């Protein structure tokens, strides 16, 4: 019963963890925060360049096409780099690779780059091949709806201070996966194994006779001259003949064995007579107090 309840509890816990994991994986923690209004826009950090710090990165957001209308995709270095020095630059996706855009804006003096998609409304991770150790500024990607909303904000306010918040997307969901997929089943298997061992021990304890009960059984000293005609001449456990002065244990069923042989049998294997399978702990008219002598578990 306890094992069944534990399994149900674990399944419920697993469902909760999985649902939490699903929610965490569908909500992008990395955001662009407009400082003045506290409006947030979802983004995704690039696979190249430095990571954002815990405090994030503050700066004014500049639209490249406002500076050079023919270079809104950032595929070449800005001619007038003074306009973007120490600013966060917003460029549009297309015409050249992501790494080229970031390198061009870095060479123009920008402290970070936001790449917006004006065609598709979905987040992607920006990758680059080859050596990217020369990239010293962070860059993020925003989907179509976020890109257009940010552009509108810049066009209305001109001076837009933003904060790029650290991307935790790849940290907590991965930790949740490790906990749910690896640690939780491991803990459950250990628990089940320990429970199985405890039950096996309890069952084995029920299958054997208490030492006190065995010690209270009758004994006698064997003498061949006193042996009755119907009495056995050998021990049914070790199959050795009785010799004079052997100590024998007499079970309630009247079967006799060497004390060493039968005591070991009853206390380590089974509490039944090896010949007739009778339970020696069952009270009889001759041994009514056997079960009362059994210690309370």
pLDDT digits (tens, 9 = 90+) for 257-277: 999 999 998 888 888 899 898
Residue 294 has pLDDT above 90, yes or no: no
Report residue 196's pLDDT band, with 50, 70 and 90 as the boundaries.
confident
pLDDT level of residue 122 (50, 70, 90 thresholds):
confident
What is each CA distance from 108 to 89, 250, 254, in whole angstroms?
10, 103, 105
Rg of the chain (C-alpha set) = 41
Q: How far is CA 219 from CA 209, 215, 271, in A?
A: 17, 9, 17
Per the CB < 8 A criterion, the answer to whether 280 and 293 are in contact is no
What percent of the chain stands above pLDDT 90? 31
> Does the pLDDT at position 183 exceed 80?
no
Please give the full DSSP string across 10-31, using - where no structure is assigned: HHHHHHHHHHHHHHHHHS---E
| Dist. CA 89–CA 115, nearest whole Å | 8
- N- to C-terminal Cα separation, the chain: 20
Which pLDDT band holds residue 80 (cuts at 50, 70, 90)?
Answer: confident
The arithmetic mean of pLDDT across residues 15-28, rounded, is: 44
Please spell the DSSP secondary structure of 119-141, one letter per residue: S--S-------S--TT--S-EEE
**Structure tokens belonging to residue 157:** 């306010």
Q: Which of 240, 286, 277 is nearest to 255 (CA)?
A: 277
pTM of the model: 0.50
Grade residue 189 by pLDDT with cuts at 50, 70 and 90: confident
Please report which confidence band the pLDDT of residue 142 belongs to, taking 50, 70 and 90 as the band edges: very high
Q: Which secondary structure element, helix H or strand E, spans residue 187, and what is its range? A: helix 184-207
Average pLDDT, the chain: 81
pLDDT of residue 19: 47
Mean pLDDT of the 26-34 span:
65
Domains of the chain and any CATH numbers: 30-167 (3.50.30.30), 204-293 (3.30.40.10)
Among 239, 279, 231, CA closest to 256: 231
Question: Residue 120: its pLDDT value, please?
Answer: 85
How sure is the predictor about 26, in pLDDT bands with cuts at 50, 70 and 90? very low
What whole-number distance in Å separates Cα of residue 262 and Cα of residue 265?
Answer: 5
Determine the average pLDDT of the residues in 186-213: 84
pLDDT band at 15; cut points 50, 70, 90: low
Q: Flag the least confident range among 61-70, 179-188, 246-255.
A: 179-188
Q: Where are the beta strands (DSSP E) in the chain?
A: 31-34, 40-42, 44-45, 57-63, 88-92, 112-116, 139-142, 160-164, 218-221, 247-250, 256-258
Tell me which of 4-8, 73-77, 204-208 is least confident: 4-8
Could you read off the pLDDT of 219-259 as tens digits, one per residue?
A: 999 998 888 888 888 999 999 999 998 999 999 988 999 99
The whole-angstrom separation of Cα 6 and Cα 50 is 46
pLDDT band at residue 55 using 50, 70 and 90 as cut-offs: confident
Average pLDDT, stretch 37-56?
89
């Amino acid at each position: 019963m306890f094992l069944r309840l534990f399994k149900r509890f674990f399944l419920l816990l697993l469902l909760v963890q999985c649902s939490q994991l699903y929610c965490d994986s569908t909500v992008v923690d990395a955001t662009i925060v407009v400082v003045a209004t506290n409006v947030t826009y979802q983004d995704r950090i690039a696979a190249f360049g430095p990571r954002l710090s815990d405090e994030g990165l503050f700066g004014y957001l500049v639209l490249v096409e406002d500076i050079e209308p023919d270079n809104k995709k950032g595929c070449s270095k800005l001619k007038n780099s003074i306009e973007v020095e120490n600013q966060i630059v917003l460029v549009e996706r297309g015409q050249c690779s992501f790494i080229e855009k970031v390198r061009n804006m870095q060479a123009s003096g920008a402290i970070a780059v936001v790449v917006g998609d004006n065609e598709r409304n979905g987040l992607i991770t920006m990758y680059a091949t080859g050596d990217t150790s020369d990239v010293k500024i962070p860059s993020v990607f925003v989907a179509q709806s976020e890109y257009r909303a940010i552009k509108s904000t810049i066009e209305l306010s001109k001076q837009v201070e933003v904060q790029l918040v650290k991307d935790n997307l790849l940290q907590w969901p991965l930790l949740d996966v490790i906990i749910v997929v690896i640690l939780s089943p491991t803990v459950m298997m250990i628990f089940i194994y320990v429970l199985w061992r405890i039950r096996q021990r309890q069952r084995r304890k029920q299958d054997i006779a208490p030492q006190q009960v065995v010690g209270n059984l009758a004994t006698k000293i064997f003498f061949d001259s006193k042996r009755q005609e119907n009495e056995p001449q050998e021990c049914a456990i070790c199959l050795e003949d009785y010799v004079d002065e052997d100590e024998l244990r007499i079970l309630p069923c009247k079967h006799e064995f060497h004390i060493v042989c039968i005591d070991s049998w009853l206390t380590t294997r089974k509490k039944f007579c090896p010949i007739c399978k009778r339970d020696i702990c069952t009270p009889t008219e001759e041994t009514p107090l056997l079960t009362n002598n059994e210690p309370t578990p």
